[in-house]
Amino acid sequence: MLDLSQSEKQQAETLYLKVPAHMNREKTLRAIKGHLTVFPGFSPVLVYDDKKKQLYELSAEYATKIHPDLLLRLREVVGEENVVKK
């Protein structure tokens, strides 16, 4: 159970993901969204599409709890350097 201070801290964090240009965008987004739904929370997720040079925010249904296991899974999908929390 999160106490209020943990919840507020988590809300202040945003997860940034980059889909590299060489990756299949649709397949990669499906994998990302699948992992995000396992860790529901309040942190927004922004995705940068390297091929289109466009940044967009995933819908609120994919807001997540930024957990070490989630970060590990996402790094396996898009690469270590393409997963950042701020």
What residues contact 22, with CB distance under 8 A and at least 6 apart? none
Q: Give residue limits of the domains in the chain.
A: 4-85
DSSP state of 10: H
| pTM of the model as a whole | 0.86
pLDDT score for 85: 96
* DSSP secondary structure string for all residues of 43-60: E-EEEEETTTTEEEEPPG
What pLDDT digit, counting tens, does each position of 23-80 carry?
A: 999 999 999 999 999 999 999 999 999 999 999 999 999 999 999 999 999 999 999 9
Confidence of residue 12 (pLDDT cuts 50, 70, 90): confident
pLDDT score for 66: 96
Q: Report the pLDDT averaged over residues 8-17.
A: 76
pLDDT score for 23: 96
